[in-house]
A and B are shown apart, each in its own frame.
Chain A
């Protein structure tokens, strides 16, 4: 097991470096010039200003040296400085990553809490009313455009019904809790600042649900189909023949096996949410990693693009490793070698 983990971690280094190299090549191959997106029309006519800009951001060096500089920074535990925020990318990530982690985790928990039970019941009562509802919910969840859902849910629950609080991580005039982890819920709880805690939780609900919608659709569908598959297995027939109660069969025998594909889907979705929540973050004014990544991409902020790619690569591979380890717990037949 530990050898397996060590080997996977070793492979992870290769994978992440590969991802950064590909991202570096692609971002420089795009036919858009960082001078255009970072200097005004007049400034970009002045050779001395353009030269100062290139020197400052190392854009006057050959491409391979720029990539080597990134690697050298990485070896020192640094990611360079962002053109967009003019500060260390590690500081940027420390600010934006927790915001996204908090939101993505909330969304995944919502998706899990709603999607798994719905998938199970749909499978048990196949072609029954619950199954129809589940299929409808998952279809809608998977196919509904997230920017539309985000806007409509804000209009409905925030602006019209006044059931939820508005966008942002905290309400206006509510100060962020003293920084410990950057996760507002955790930091507020640690400081026993329950007002801020409640405000932070309240602000997570609506964007969390919106972001959960597509994942929930996916989880429901996968849980339902793998549950159906599990329910038709021979070992369950044996269990039934032994006279075990149906609820025990479902909960103890079928569910654990059926959850393996669900865990896979969740792992992938979580990785996706970390970088792919741009729409939700924009509409909910959420200062997260998705928006930061998007801004970096459209302004050719190469150092930030590399930093984000690196962190997301690491998170993605780590989550996948975790998923693979969970398989073993869910299905003891799986051996790591």
Chain B
């Protein structure tokens, strides 16, 4: 080593070593511990519940606001439990939901919680016309019956209304506080509401935690709400650090600098299986990756044939794709996650899934008049996908699988947003894309597959499928409704333009001293029950 730089580097390393690794400042008041999380927040644009539509923001809103009702647990997503509503009644026509509200609840500000807060929050979500505003499309009006009773009136029967109300966007705000900072639920709130910047730094709710600050690309800090109606949380403070690199998150959680690492990729998690300093929590993600094929013969005469699409569904080796994820995935029959009403269990999926059968695939191709196969271009996004495996590796697998029945897939990788722009322009022959739920309800998935979103992009307009979807979405008897979605899924396997490719599992790495942390789709986790020993 150069004798000039030798001492210099020793000084630098000495400086680095002397840096304090012990927590010194910012200890939470009133006892309790700080939960330090590594969370990729690159996507977070806003924390305003009326405007946010991103994973990191959903996490913050879920922990700083309460909703009227909630999904019972990550394993029982189709059952709802009371939160700010203690009971509810659905009118026989499915249009009116009347909620009795929990008495003696105070927001973090000390303001009492009343029916006006519910009216304000849901109306504002609708009139802001923000990214999640469409979820309030079914809502006609919110009627305050008395301070502790509120009725939501819908335009037509909509069975997933409780699912929508359980999501982080349906957070109940402290209307008085929010209005003081410029929030509005007027019909022109998209122009009148001035609260976003304030709501990005403060929460206006009564959830278990209070948003203290958000420094974009750096850290989100929440402190527990001492007046929380269920009693204060065990964790005194949440420090969600923005760590975009999965490899860095892995090092931090292994080193004990963070308690929870949320975005460690499956290949890196696999390397930690024998590490006693970490626990790997596995949850069922509801994110799907799928292939969509055009239904328009003008774009591709072969793919537009029903038998050809069936042949492709029989030829894609989906067990092989699960192997590519090291077994960290499941696969359902359509772009519809296992765990949701109608596809409650793996057994339901097994019954409906198209079977891997090359002979049958070839027979179907022959029946379609293309026994020797054909070519088609397949567009997909480069980079990571939410399903825990890259689009590229799945696309290559599809290519090699379809080669076995004589179909020549030409792979067209594109930057993801470019791919999505082209896909949305409704002129693509075949794409690999993904879906993350907007709310955890069956209608979200049938809506996109059949009624709007992807169906028009793939030029699929099927009156029968649409009728089935509309009826199921309106059916308020859960048992009957579940059967209707099973029929829809079977219809999609037979006729639809989709090949579902993979539904990932979420793997969260936590330190062994963290108890009670459970992965929750659409919002990462509720920190309220978490304990740090």
Q: Which residue of A lies closest to B439 (CB)?
A: A42
Query: A109 to chain B: closest CB distance in Å?
Result: 11
Asked whether B19 is an interface residue with its Cβ less than 8 Å from the other chain, the reply is: yes
Stretch at the interface among B22-30, B203-211, B494-502: B22-30
Is A173 touching B34 in the complex (CB atoms < 8 A)? Answer: yes
Complex interface: stretch among A199-207, A221-229, A237-245 = A199-207
A104 to B103 alpha-carbon distance, docked (Å):
56
The answer to whether A282 and B16 touch across the interface, beta carbons within 8 angstroms, is no
CB pair B417–A298 under 8 Å, yes or no, is yes
* Contact in complex: A173, B217 (CB < 8 Å): no
| A169 and B218 contact, Cβ closer than 8 Å, known pairs A42-B448, A49-B133, A174-B26 | yes
Residues on the B chain within 8 Å of A30, using CB: 418
CB distance from B74 to the nearest CB of A (A): 22
> Digit string of B383-407 for contact with A (CB within 8 Å is 1, else 0)?
0000000000000000000000000
B16 touches A165 (CB 8 A): yes
Which of A110, A130, A159, A288 contacts B2, CB < 8 Å?
A: A130
Contact A43 B16 (CB under 8 A): no
Cβ–Cβ contact A95 & B216, under 8 A: yes
Quick check: B251 and A121 within 8 Å, CB to CB?
Answer: no
Q: Which of B40-94 contact A (CB under 8 A)?
A: 42, 45-46, 53
Binds A, one of B253-261, B290-298, B319-327, B463-471: B253-261
Within A148-165, which residues are at the interface with B (CB < 8 Å)?
A: 151, 154-155, 157-159, 162-165
Let me know if B21 and A171 touch, CB within 8 A.
yes
Task: Return A285 CB to nearest CB of chain B, in Å.
Answer: 4
In chain A, residues 33-47, which have Cβ atoms closer than 8 Å to a Cβ of chain B?
Answer: 33, 36-46
In the bound assembly, the distance between CA atoms of A49 and B50 in angstroms comes to 13
* 8 Å CB interface, A99-137 against B: 110, 113-114, 117-118, 121, 130, 133-134
The interface centre, meaning the residue of A83, A87, A121, A172 with most chain B CB atoms within 10 A of its CB, is A172
Asked if B239 is an interface residue, CB under 8 A from chain A, the answer is: yes
Question: Is there contact, CB below 8 Å, between A87 and B200?
Answer: yes
Whole-angstrom distance between the Cβ of B71 and the nearest chain A Cβ: 20
The answer to the question of A24 belonging to the interface, with a C-beta cut-off of 8 Å to chain B, is no
**Residue B18 at the chain A interface, CB threshold 8 Å:** yes
Task: Tell me which residues across on chain B come within 8 A of A134, comparing CB atoms.
Answer: 2
B26 touches A173 (CB 8 A): yes
Q: Is the CB of A198 within 8 A of B129?
A: no
Query: Smallest CB-CB separation from A200: which chain B residue?
Result: B19
Whether A46 pairs with B134 at a CB distance below 8 angstroms is yes
- The contact of B415 among A32, A39, A41, by CB within 8 Å, is A32
Contacts of A205 in B (CB 8 A): 12-13, 15-16
Instruction: Knowing A172-B258, A175-B25, say if A86 contacts B200 (CB, 8 Å).
Output: yes
A294 nearest in chain B by CB position: B42
Known: A38-B45, A48-B129. A32 touches B418 (CB 8 A): yes
Q: Are B12 and A172 in contact (CB under 8 A)?
A: no
Tell me which residues across on chain B come within 8 A of A48, comparing CB atoms. 129
Query: Does A195 lie at the interface of the complex (its beta carbon under 8 Å from any beta carbon of B)?
Result: yes
Residue among B13, B53, B196, B255 making CB contact with A163, cutoff 8 Å:
B13
Of B8, B242, B247, B420, the residue contacting A36 (CB under 8 A) is B420
Q: Are A285 and B245 in contact (CB under 8 A)?
A: yes
Question: Is A284 an interface position by the 8 A CB rule?
Answer: yes
**Contact string against B for A residues 166-186, beta-carbon threshold 8 Å, 1 for contact and 0 otherwise:** 111101111100000000000
CB <8 Å contact, A198 and B19 = yes
Q: Which residue of chain B has the shortest Cβ distance to A52 in the bound complex?
A: B129
Contact present for A163 and B25 (CB under 8 Å): no
Contact of A159 with B254 at beta-carbon distance under 8 Å, contacts A118-B5, A173-B23 already known: yes
A-side interface mostly: helix
User: Please, which residues of chain A bring their CB within 8 A of the CB of B251?
Assistant: 154-155, 158-159, 166
Q: Which residues of the partner chain B approach A92 to less than 8 Å between Cβ atoms? A: 216
Answer whether A175 and B133 are a contact pair too, CB < 8 Å, given A205-B16, A291-B217.
no
Instruction: State A92–B244 Cα separation when bound (angstroms).
Output: 18
Contacts of B133 in A (CB 8 A): 43, 46, 49
Interface residue? B481 (CB, 8 A): no
Is A261 an interface residue when CB atoms closer than 8 A count as contact? no
Q: Are B36 and A198 in contact (CB under 8 A)?
A: no
Check if A172 sits within 8 Å of B215, measured CB to CB.
no
The answer to whether A121 touches B217, judged by C-beta atoms less than 8 angstroms apart, is no
A199 to B130, CA, bound (A): 41
A30 to B414, CA, bound (A): 13
Question: A287-B216, A292-B217 known; A174 and B13 CB under 8 Å?
Answer: no
Closest chain-A Cβ to B286's Cβ sits at a distance in Å of 15
Is A27 interfacial (CB-CB < 8 Å)? Answer: no
Does any Cβ of B come within 8 Å of A56's Cβ?
yes
A202 touches B438 (CB 8 A): no
Nearest residue, chain A, Cβ from B247? A151
Judge if A310 is at the interface, Cβ distance under 8 Å.
Answer: no
Cβ of A62 < 8 Å from any Cβ of B? no
- Residue of chain B at shortest CB distance from A46: B134
CA distance A121 to B251 in the complex (A): 38
- What are the residues of chain A within 8 A of B134 when measuring CB–CB? 42-43, 45-46, 49
Give chain B nearest CB distance to A313 CB in angstroms: 22
Q: Which of A39, A49, A96, A288 has the most CB of B within 10 A?
A: A49
Fill in one digit per residue for B432-456: 1 if any A CB lies within 8 Å of its CB, else 0: 0001001000000001100011100
Q: B131 is contacted by which of A49, A283, A287 (Cβ under 8 Å)?
A: A49
- Are B243 and A117 within 8 A (Cβ)? no
Interface status of B17 (Cβ within 8 A of chain A): yes
Shortest Cβ distance from residue A65 to the other chain B in the assembled complex, whole angstroms: 19
Contact A174-B20, Cβ < 8 Å, known A43-B53, A113-B8, A166-B255: yes
Type the 1/0 row for B126-169, where 1 means its CB is closer than 8 Å to any CB of A.
00011111100100000000000000000000000000000000
CA distance A288 to B50 in the complex (A): 28
Q: Chain A interface (Cβ within 8 Å of chain B)? A: 30-33, 36-46, 48-49, 52, 55-56, 83-87, 92, 95-96, 110, 113-114, 117-118, 121, 130, 133-134, 151, 154-155, 157-159, 162-169, 171-175, 195-196, 198-199, 201-203, 205-206, 209, 282-285, 287-288, 291-292, 295, 298-300
Not counting A43-B134, A114-B8, A164-B17, a sample of 4 additional A-B residue pairs whose C-beta atoms are within 8 angstroms of each other reads A114-B2, A172-B34, A195-B25, A201-B15
